[in-house]
C-alpha cells in the first residue's frame, strides 16, 4: 500500500525526448495541496522502489520553494534529478545548501532562461540545465543552422554561433526545425515536450499518415504468433492505423452488422491471416518520419493513463471502450476532418461517440483527467479537476507513477512484447 500522503500532493508529467525521438526522462511536477507538509522523500522512495531498472529517470520540479528546500536537505531518491530554478541559485545564502546537496549525491538541474545559464555554469562545475529557449534564441539558432554556422561580410567570413549548448535539456521548442537543430546538430540531452501544435496545426493540411514502424512491428508479432493482447498493445501506438483498421472491419465487404467493443474485439473478428494481408497492403502508404514518434507516443501515454485510472478490477468491455476513447481523442487533428464525421464511419458504441463528440457520457471524466495530468501548467487545478471527475488525488497520482515506470515503448525492428496496459 502506498502512503496516504498521496492525497496531499498533485503530480503532472511531461515526457523528455532524446535524439532518437524516444523518451529519455520524465519531468514530474509536484504540487503540495493546501501547503500541507509532506514527507516527499519518503513518499517518492516508496513510489519508485519498484521501478524497473530501465525506467526513465524522473526530473522533479516543485511549485513550492519550501518543498524543494526540504528535498535538498534530505538524502536523494534513486533515479531522480532535482530541478532548481534560477532565483534559488542566485541567492547567496542558498549557495552552500546547493553545494552540500551535490556532495550529498543529489543530481541538480539549473532551470531558467538559456541566455542566463552561462554565468552559473562558470560557478558550478559540471552543471546541467533545463534551459528555456526564447524567441531570439530560436531565431539565432535557426539562422546559424540555415547558414551552416557561417555568414559573409565584405572582405571575410565570420562564424555565426548557435546559442544551443550540448548536453542540456531545452524547453519552449515550438518548431520541428528547432527540435532537429537541438537534437541532431547541437547534441542536446533532450527536449521537454515536443512541437505538437506545429505538427497538428490547421495550417498543415495533409493528414498524419500511418506509422510504418508500427506496421512492421505488428506484422512481426503476427508472424511470431503473439497473443491478441500483445498485438493490440502494438497497434494502439498509432491512432491512425487503428482508425483505418476499424474502418476496414466496418466496410460493406466485411459485412459487420454490430458494434466493435475494442481493438481486441476487431482483431478476433478479423484473424491474423487477413490482418497480415491488409497490413502488407496499407504499409505502402505509411511514413517513417521520426518527428511523429513523440507525437504518437505522447498520445499513447494519455491513453494508457486513462486505462490506469480505471483500476485493475474493471471489466474488459469497459477497459476496451475507455481505450478507444483515448486512442481517438485527437483523431480530428491527425486526419484534418471533423471528429463526428470520422467516428460515424466506425462501429463504435454510443458511449465512446458521445464522450468524444458531445463531451458527455461516462468517459469524459477519464479524458479530462488524463489531459490535466499531462499538463504541468495546470497542476494547481488538479484537485478540483479530480473532484469533479470523481477521482481522488491518490488514484490520479498512482496512475501517473505507474505510467512513468513503464514509459518506454518497444523499440527496434524485431518484435518485442509490449508491457501490459
- What pLDDT, in 10s, does the model give residues 268-319? 888 899 999 999 999 999 999 999 999 999 999 999 999 999 977 888 888 8
Per the model's pLDDT, the better-predicted residue between 345 and 17 turns out to be 17
Helix (H, G, I), strand (E, B) or coil at 155: coil
Question: Per-residue pLDDT for 259 more than 70?
Answer: no
Distance CA 111, CA 170 (A): 10
72 and 175 both lie in a single domain: yes
Element (H, E) at 87: helix 86-89
**CA-based radius of gyration for the chain:** 23
Distance CA 48, CA 405 (A): 8
Question: Per-residue pLDDT for 415 more than 50?
Answer: no
Query: How large a percentage of the chain has pLDDT more than 90?
Result: 69
95 and 130 both lie in a single domain: yes
In a domain, 399, yes or no: no
- What pLDDT, in 10s, does the model give residues 15-31? 999 999 999 999 999 99
Question: Per-residue pLDDT for 412 more than 60?
Answer: no
Q: Check residue 211 and report its DSSP letter.
A: B
In a domain, 413, yes or no: no
- pLDDT computed for residue 257 by the predictor: 53
- What pLDDT, in 10s, does the model give residues 355-368? 999 999 999 999 99
Distance CA 179, CA 112 (A): 18
- pLDDT computed for residue 258 by the predictor: 58
Distance CA 61, CA 148 (A): 36
In a domain, 409, yes or no: no
Query: How large a percentage of the chain has pLDDT more than 70?
Result: 90
For the chain, the first-to-last Cα distance in angstroms comes to 21
Are 35 and 59 in contact by the 8 Å Cβ rule? The answer is no
Q: 14 has which bridge partners?
A: 27
User: At 1, is the pLDDT very low, low, confident or very high (cuts 50, 70, 90)?
Assistant: very low
Which CATH number characterizes residue 316's domain? 1.10.3210.10
- pLDDT computed for residue 138 by the predictor: 96
- pLDDT computed for residue 100 by the predictor: 93
What's phi and psi for 386, nearest 5 deg? Answer: -65, -40
- What pLDDT, in 10s, does the model give residues 202-248? 666 789 999 999 999 999 999 999 999 999 999 999 999 999 999 88
From 154-158, 171-175, 193-197, the region with the lowest mean pLDDT: 154-158
Question: Per-residue pLDDT for 393 more than 90?
Answer: yes
- pLDDT computed for residue 411 by the predictor: 42
What's phi and psi for 16, nearest 5 deg? Answer: -115, 130
152 and 289 both lie in a single domain: no
Distance CA 214, CA 141 (A): 33
Helices (H), 124-206: 135-146, 176-180, 196-199
DSSP 275-322: HHHHHHHHGGG-B--GGGHHHHHHHHHHHHHHHHHH-TT--HHHHHHH
Q: Which three cell numbers stand for residue 232?
A: 493490440
User: At 4, is the pLDDT very low, low, confident or very high (cuts 50, 70, 90)?
Assistant: low
Domain region containing 241: 212-374
146 and 266 both lie in a single domain: no
pTM: 0.90
Assign residue 375 a region: left if phi > 0, alpha if psi is -120 to 50, beta otherwise?
beta
39 and 154 both lie in a single domain: yes
Question: Per-residue pLDDT for 151 more than 90?
Answer: no
DSSP 329-354: TTHHHHHTS-HHHHHTTS---HHHHI
- pLDDT computed for residue 154 by the predictor: 52
State mean pLDDT over 112-121. Answer: 95
In a domain, 383, yes or no: no
Helix (H, G, I), strand (E, B) or coil at 162: coil
- pLDDT computed for residue 254 by the predictor: 60
In a domain, 28, yes or no: yes
Contacts of 94 (CB under 8 A, 6+ apart): 88
Residue at a domain's end among 199, 227, 249: 199
Helices (H), 147-193: 176-180
DSSP 237-257: T-HHHHHHHHHHHTSTTTT--
- pLDDT computed for residue 421 by the predictor: 38
How many domains, the chain?
2
Contacts of 416 (CB under 8 A, 6+ apart): 217, 410
43 and 172 both lie in a single domain: yes
Contacts of 238 (CB under 8 A, 6+ apart): 210, 211, 214, 296
Which of 166, 130, 174, 122 has its CA nearest to residue 29? 130
Q: How far is CA 275 from CA 112, 146, 262, 263, in A?
A: 50, 44, 16, 12
Residue at a domain's end among 199, 220, 238: 199
216 and 349 both lie in a single domain: yes
Which CATH number characterizes residue 107's domain? 3.20.20
280 and 179 both lie in a single domain: no
Q: How far is CA 98 from CA 4, 93, 167, 257, 307, in A?
A: 30, 10, 21, 66, 40
Question: Per-residue pLDDT for 336 more than 90?
Answer: yes
In a domain, 390, yes or no: no
38 and 143 both lie in a single domain: yes
State mean pLDDT over 384-400. Answer: 95
Which of 22, 27, 17 has its CA nearest to residue 377? 27
Q: Pairing relation of β-strands 156-159 and 169-171?
A: unpaired
Amino acid at each position: 500500500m502506498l502512503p496516504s500522503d498521496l492525497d496531499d500532493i498533485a503530480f503532472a508529467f511531461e515526457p523528455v525526448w532524446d535524439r532518437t525521438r524516444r523518451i529519455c526522462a520524465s519531468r514530474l511536477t509536484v504540487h503540495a495541496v493546501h501547503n500541507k507538509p509532506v514527507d516527499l522523500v519518503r513518499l517518492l522512495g516508496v513510489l519508485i522502489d519498484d521501478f524497473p531498472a530501465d525506467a526513465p529517470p524522473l526530473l522533479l520540479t516543485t511549485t513550492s520553494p519550501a518543498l524543494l528546500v526540504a528535498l535538498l536537505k534530505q538524502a536523494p531518491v534513486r533515479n531522480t534529478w532535482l530541478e532548481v530554478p534560477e532565483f534559488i541559485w542566485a541567492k547567496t545564502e542558498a549557495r552552500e545548501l546547493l553545494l552540500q546537496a551535490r556532495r550529498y549525491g543529489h543530481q541538480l538541474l539549473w532551470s531558467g532562461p538559456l541566455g542566463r545559464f552561462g554565468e552559473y555554469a562558470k560557478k558550478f562545475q559540471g552543471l546541467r540545465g533545463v534551459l528555456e529557449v526564447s524567441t531570439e534564441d530560436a531565431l539565432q539558432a535557426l539562422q546559424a543552422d540555415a547558414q551552416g554556422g557561417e555568414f559573409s561580410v565584405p572582405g571575410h567570413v565570420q562564424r555565426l554561433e548557435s546559442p544551443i549548448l550540448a548536453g542540456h535539456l531545452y524547453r519552449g521548442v515550438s518548431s520541428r526545425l528547432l527540435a532537429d537543430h537541438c537534437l541532431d546538430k547541437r547534441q542536446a540531452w533532450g527536449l521537454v515536450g515536443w512541437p505538437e501544435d506545429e505538427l497538428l496545426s490547421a495550417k498543415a493540411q495533409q493528414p498524419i499518415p500511418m506509422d510504418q514502424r508500427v506496421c512492421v512491428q505488428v506484422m512481426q508479432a503476427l508472424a511470431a504468433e503473439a497473443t491478441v493482447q500483445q498485438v493490440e498493445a502494438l497497434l494502439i501506438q498509432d491512432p491512425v492505423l487503428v482508425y483505418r483498421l476499424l474502418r476496414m472491419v466496418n466496410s460493406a465487404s466485411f459485412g459487420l452488422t454490430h458494434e466493435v467493443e475494442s481493438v481486441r474485439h476487431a482483431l478476433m473478428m478479423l484473424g491474423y491471416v487477413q490482418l497480415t494481408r491488409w497490413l502488407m497492403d496499407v504499409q505502402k502508404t505509411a511514413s517513417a518520419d521520426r518527428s511523429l514518434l513523440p507525437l504518437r507516443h505522447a498520445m499513447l501515454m494519455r491513453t494508457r493513463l486513462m486505462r490506469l485510472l480505471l483500476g485493475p478490477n474493471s471489466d474488459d468491455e469497459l477497459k476496451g471502450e475507455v481505450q478507444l476513447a483515448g486512442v481517438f481523442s485527437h483523431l480530428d487533428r491527425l486526419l484534418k476532418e471533423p471528429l463526428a464525421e470520422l467516428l460515424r464511419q466506425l462501429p463504435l458504441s454510443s458511449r465512446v461517440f458521445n464522450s468524444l463528440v458531445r463531451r458527455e457520457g461516462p468517459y469524459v471524466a477519464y479524458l479530462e483527467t488524463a489531459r490535466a495530468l499531462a499538463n504541468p501548467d495546470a497542476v494547481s487545478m488538479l484537485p478540483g479537476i479530480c473532484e469533479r471527475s470523481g477521482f481522488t488525488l491518490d488514484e490520479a497520482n498512482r496512475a501517473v507513477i505507474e505510467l512513468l515506470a513503464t514509459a518506454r515503448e518497444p523499440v527496434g525492428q524485431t518484435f518485442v512484447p509490449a508491457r501490459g496496459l
